[in-house]
Structure 1
């Protein structure tokens, strides 16, 4: 009785009418019940003829109930279906055929409607499975041959036709296109993709592939034909792992569900004892044993906790299905509930609140060179370096030059470890680097040092440029905050997140600069991974619950120690998918308010469902014990409450977050 398995929505697809069989049998049961009732009350037929439609009604209404009960009894379990059968047989023994048939009709109709409704939630999840393509066009010699995706091996070349589903996780090596990644990441706008520059690079993991060349199985190609190199076999693809995780998430029970299960463990034996005692009511009350038996059967129907058993799983299933559609993977009932109770969030900085790549923010000219002249020499020298900061200078420097007529000649370029770079540009010695680069060469004037200090206080990485022996300019770079960071944090504040802190390995000045720009409560800098964990534990003590938001790679220990670990951009990262309780599939911070708002709504619905289910039992049980309600009334309310609870949970499938429009 505690699991209410078939009530917990395993639809019966094995009948002659497929998944509608249960509903058709229930309706047939109702038709024969009505026939029997009309003959009983408005005809002169012998009772044996009236009994026939009642018996047929029993047969149709009790078919699945009996089947379920037999299966459960063979496993040594007594469930709700078994108790309903006892009540129906009891009614027949008392010659209350109409009431027994009504009980089985409404019970089977309630279950059929419940299964159809819950199948809607399951279909939302199964639609993920349908995304998985079955075949791929693999290159064999000079031709492309259609093969089953199970036969694809890492390194195979496959062609994706325009407007068709991508068959494997891979790297784009030929053709440019825009791909609709919504099935995996929930992003509503197609993402532009371009081929990798060097086809000979071997990627050991999916994360190493640049975002613009990374392609997921199950996403939909745009109007161009493209060729990709397979990076993962079909069973390891992001889509397949996503499907597995969503399916596992349905099984994981929430704290409320575990509490409900515990309650049912004590509740069910209590109900059975009460039913047995009610059979002896005739010893105290002036009535026959038949009346006492009937009263106990009505109480049995009233006390069966069908609605209670389905109230939480239906909400959890609908919540997980809706989240998956919005590009959020929630791994079970516990994170779904916890996410809804959060009041504090901790963020990693690099790549979570910031873009994760440095941008040139300031160019300060010092000796009368024009902007173009200065930048052309800087860009020319930095082009000879592979350093991430040099790449940022080249990229942003070119964008800041008004007229670019090719770059000057560079010779004798030399990187100076940890300090900068020097080389000859058009016969002129150019140095670019930090103050340490100039310690042994020349004295840096005080006012230039002051300018550098001001920029460093803003959390920027500063480089000083020297042409021959004259300081010509200052460059400042910074890992800039995401454009979405500030609006997202203000949305989170609106939905009741009181504390938002940043944990970073960067220095405190950088942390403070980013925090004040985007509106964080606190920022903690200079933290090693184990110090992040200590900080998380401390925050959890203060706030009782805290979530850690990061990219799931270096933040894994902090995530594991928080109440809820939230990983961003999880579609590209195996580690993030594994370690997080909640994974935002796209690398978009703005999905976070949607995930939290959805969890709050789910929690609200679970509470409503518990009130409805327990409320109906609390009203019906005394009503049947004191004889104010018969079996018919008890069944109507019992099944009615179950259907109301399921429909209430299904509202989550249509959830729209007013703040993020997801």
Structure 2
């Protein structure tokens, strides 16, 4: 399609042509009357027909151009009204059509042209605004890579991104876009993932790291194994989700649609009654035009599209308008502990010595040897620390017997090693003078998971493992409260002491510990029965029942997870906890704009209707004010596209590696 065709079929061609015809009509009438005969004032521009004191061909030609302007601007409006009537829908286009046709019949060509021209401008503005508010979607589409460099037959080949095959090796050089979802198999580099997660700080990638299509290399050279191509990439899923979300109607919008279906016939009946009683056809037609709820109809969708678009640009995917509205009413947030409030990567933090004949290294060696054959998640940090200290176990581990709820018993070089809690010692008759239990209790109070280590019949020490609290967790809780959330609740399967320590450090309001998945569901239901609108944040696996029951299910770090992107009500693409209060704050701003727009639209219509009955408001003046209200509504919604003060970037974290753990001597 060439440039001329684009203009002809564009949004502004009709109002521009119609406007030019109106100006031409005014010019002809002005020339016909002469400068001396006409006072070119605003009143004249509004009521040009009243100044047409000259008869003849020139005046008729002026009227002809005015009528042509009405036809050009009104043709599409009438056609849309007819199509709506065929579908048994009475919309605002019908009001404008009847008013314009009526004005033509009674010879008021200027009123017909003014109404249709201004309404056409309104339509063009609406279309342009929706296109603008969809800019986040356009930006997402724009970041999609066009080409890729793959290794085929041992050679580099540049091909269209859509032709990359699963399992191929893709080369990502400095400054290039990543063309596929994949895993780094070689090389290092820094990747700007703002298009996916909304975070501006590039992320370091090494072997084994995950990368996403549409992200940009800011340095280094990577070889990436393609695991997601074409429509199966995270970027494609985000585009699809945002597109669906922006088209989904909120409850308020659905109400406005129902309201319009009743409102339009009511206005038509009011106009008919007013015309019959007063005998004034112009009054009836004016009522039809002024009663058009144009600003009201656009007030909700433009705000929803802008709000969801702004969120997507910040790495927050909201499923639709209904969920955006619900998010604005969230009064309680339930969060899982592991992986949400904490890093999800336990580390060995303490070794408490209880046998003066041994040192820290000996206690660590026995603990690691006992855990070598264990599948428990807390075994990993013990083994990693032992390897780093050079006392890691070698060879095949001995017999390991798990004791559910208590710990494990291992055979290490013919000696019995126990690692677990005090009930494990009691079961195997290992004496404890109370020091081990006391040390374990003190460590648990600090939010750590203690494990007593005993060799044969003697306790030698206590090791403690802790999942580090995320740096941004306390700030997240504080910002949730600032965003209007009354209660932040922790739901965890961990012990009460550990949960309370984490809760105290992060500012959590309420703690529910030692929960099974069905217990988390019960906790969510209980909060709902207390009158709360609940948002549940979890990993979607063991939290699935609670996530499904909550009013809003939130998936953290959803980038790369097709299930999370498609099923979560809100998907936070990055791993930034502060995106949660940002999402709630944006939802509240969007709903506030929606309410403001509705108020502006309704107040405008009421004042104009009052002005008609009081006298002084003509059809053209009313339509001008009406379209001005549309502009105000649009401008108000466009504010949502600006980044709010509460928007976040992931704070830079200090990354330190410790060989070994802190030593505490009993």
Q: TM-score range by the shorter chain?
A: 0.7 to 0.9
CA deviation vs aligned residue, 1:204-251 (integer Å, no higher than 9, x gap)? xxxxxxxxx111112112322322222234222221111111111122
Report how far residue 467 of structure 1 moved: 7.2
Report how far residue 586 of structure 1 moved: 0.9
CA distance in 2, matches of 1:69, 1:369: 93
Pick aligned residue for 2:439 from 448, 451, 457: 451
- 1:646/1:408 CA distance change after superposition, 3 Å: closer
Write out aligned runs for 1:619-638 (5 A): 619-638=607-626
CA distance in 2, matches of 1:431, 1:631: 93
CA deviation vs aligned residue, 1:565-596 (integer Å, no higher than 9, x gap)? 11111113333223321111112211111111
Say what the alpha-carbon RMSD is for the aligned residues.
Answer: 3.0
Report how far residue 484 of structure 1 moved: 1.0
Partner of 1:433: 419
- 1:438/1:374 CA distance change after superposition, 3 Å: farther
Write out aligned runs for 1:560-599 (5 A): 560-599=548-587
Partner of 1:416: 400
CA distance in 2, matches of 1:650, 1:539: 36
Contact 1:312 1:606 in 2 (8 A): yes
- 1:557/1:384 CA distance change after superposition, 3 Å: closer
Matched, 1:113 2:101: no
Partner of 2:259: 263
Partner of 1:549: 537
Contact 2:383 2:392 in 1 (8 A): no
Matched, 1:49 2:61: yes
Pick aligned residue for 1:240 from 229, 236, 261: 236
Pick aligned residue for 2:318 from 326, 330, 338: 330
Partner of 2:150: 138
CA deviation vs aligned residue, 1:468-511 (integer Å, no higher than 9, x gap)? 98654321112232121111101111222111111122233322
Q: What TM-score do you get using the length of structure 2 for normalisation?
A: 0.85
Matched, 1:26 2:26: no
CA distance in 2, matches of 1:407, 1:161: 41
- 1:541/1:446 CA distance change after superposition, 3 Å: closer
CA distance in 2, matches of 1:530, 1:37: 75
CA deviation vs aligned residue, 1:271-303 (integer Å, no higher than 9, x gap)? 121222233134xxxxxx5xx111111111110
Matched, 1:36 2:25: yes
Partner of 2:212: 216
- 1:239/1:19 CA distance change after superposition, 3 Å: farther
CA distance in 1, matches of 2:59, 2:395: 111
CA deviation vs aligned residue, 1:318-339 (integer Å, no higher than 9, x gap)? 0000000111000111111111
Report how far residue 598 of structure 1 moved: 0.5
CA distance in 2, matches of 1:502, 1:130: 40
- 1:365/1:58 CA distance change after superposition, 3 Å: same
Partner of 1:640: 628
Matched, 1:189 2:214: no
Report how far residue 120 of structure 1 moved: 0.8
Pick aligned residue for 1:305 from 273, 277, 293: 293
CA distance in 1, matches of 2:181, 2:645: 31
Of 595-604 and 114-123, more deviation after overlay is shown by: 114-123
- 1:590/1:395 CA distance change after superposition, 3 Å: farther
CA distance in 2, matches of 1:648, 1:487: 30
Pick aligned residue for 1:157 from 161, 169, 185: 169
CA distance in 1, matches of 2:556, 2:22: 57
Of 355-364 and 594-603, more deviation after overlay is shown by: 355-364
CA distance in 1, matches of 2:170, 2:8: 38
CA distance in 2, matches of 1:371, 1:34: 96
CA deviation vs aligned residue, 1:157-199 (integer Å, no higher than 9, x gap)? 2222322221111111121111111111112211111113xxx
SS at match of 1:451: helix
Report how far residue 355 of structure 1 moved: 1.4
Partner of 1:391: 380
Pick aligned residue for 1:477 from 465, 468, 492: 465
Contact 2:91 2:264 in 1 (8 A): no
Contact 2:114 2:620 in 1 (8 A): yes
SS at match of 1:357: coil
Pick aligned residue for 1:319 from 299, 304, 307: 307
Contact 2:386 2:392 in 1 (8 A): no
Pick aligned residue for 1:350 from 338, 361, 378: 338
Gaps of 5+ in 1: 1-11, 197-212, 283-288
Q: What TM-score do you get using the length of structure 1 for normalisation?
A: 0.86
SS at match of 1:165: coil
Of 645-654 and 468-477, more deviation after overlay is shown by: 468-477
Report how far residue 360 of structure 1 moved: 2.0
Partner of 1:94: 106
Partner of 1:229: 225
Matched, 1:171 2:167: no
Equivalenced residue count is: 620
Contact 2:365 2:391 in 1 (8 A): yes
SS at match of 2:489: strand
- 1:138/1:519 CA distance change after superposition, 3 Å: same
Report how far residue 122 of structure 1 moved: 1.4
Contact 1:552 1:568 in 2 (8 A): no
Partner of 2:96: 84
Of 459-468 and 94-103, more deviation after overlay is shown by: 459-468
Partner of 1:203: none
- 1:312/1:247 CA distance change after superposition, 3 Å: same
